[in-house]
Amino acid sequence: MAYVAVRGGREAIENAERYLRYQRDAGPTPPLQVAQVAARLHLAVDRVMGEGSLYAPDLAALALIQSAGDTFEAAFALRAHRATLPRVATSLAEGTAAMRVIRRISSAFKEIPGGQILGPTPDYTLRLLDFSLVEEDQAARVARLETFVRAAGSAAPAPDTFPKMIDILRAENLLADEPPAPDEAPFDVTREALRFPAPRSAVLQTLSRGETGGLLALAYSNMRGYGAVHPTIGELRVGFLPLKVAHPVTGRPESIGEVKVTEAEIISQFPEAGETPRFHLGYGLCFGHNETKAISMAVLDRALRQGGGAPSEDGEFVLSHVDGIEAMGFAGHFKLPHYVTFQSSLDRIRKMQVRHAGT
Q: Residue 161's closest CA among 248, 69, 94? A: 94
Residue 90 falls inside a structural domain: no
Contact 323, 312 (CB under 8 A): no
At 131-144, the pLDDT tens digits run 888 888 888 888 88
Among 54, 82, 110, the domain-final residue is 82
Residue 48 β-bridge partners: none
Residue 1 falls inside a structural domain: no
Which of left, alpha, beta for 210 (phi over 0: left; psi -120 to 50: alpha)? Answer: beta
Identify whether residues 229 and 349 lie together within a single domain.
no
Higher pLDDT, 156 or 204: 204
Residue 302 falls inside a structural domain: yes
Q: Under DSSP, is residue 157 helix (H, G, I), strand (E, B) or coil?
A: coil
Q: Residue 63's closest CA among 53, 83, 49? A: 49
Residue 87 falls inside a structural domain: no
Residue 4 falls inside a structural domain: no
Asked which of 192-196, 262-266, 299-303 is least confident by mean pLDDT, the reply is 192-196
Q: Residue 63 carries which side chain, given as an amino acid letter?
A: A
47 to 99, 202, 208, 222, 326: CA distances (angstroms)? 20, 20, 11, 23, 16
| Domains of the chain: total | 3
Identify whether residues 147 and 212 lie together within a single domain.
yes
Identify whether residues 144 and 289 lie together within a single domain.
yes
Mean pLDDT, residues 73-93: 93
Cα dihedral across residues 53, 96, 185, 175: positive or negative = negative
Identify whether residues 162 and 26 lie together within a single domain.
no
Question: Is the N-terminal amide bond of 197 cis, ω within 30° of 0?
Answer: yes
Domain encompassing residue 350? 332-359
Identify whether residues 192 and 47 lie together within a single domain.
no
Identify whether residues 170 and 124 lie together within a single domain.
yes
Identify whether residues 298 and 161 lie together within a single domain.
yes
Identify whether residues 193 and 239 lie together within a single domain.
yes
Q: The whole model's pTM is what?
A: 0.90
Please give the Cα distance from 111 to 116 (Å, whole number). 8
Give the per-residue pLDDT at 9: 80
Identify whether residues 162 and 261 lie together within a single domain.
yes
From first CA to last CA, the distance across the chain in angstroms is 25
pLDDT band at 340 (very low <50, low <70, confident <90, very high): confident
pLDDT band at 272 (very low <50, low <70, confident <90, very high): low
Identify whether residues 254 and 356 lie together within a single domain.
no
Among 35, 50, 82, the domain-final residue is 82
Average pLDDT across the chain, whole number: 89
State how beta strands 232-246 and 253-269 pair.
Answer: antiparallel
Identify whether residues 22 and 118 lie together within a single domain.
no
Residue 159 falls inside a structural domain: yes
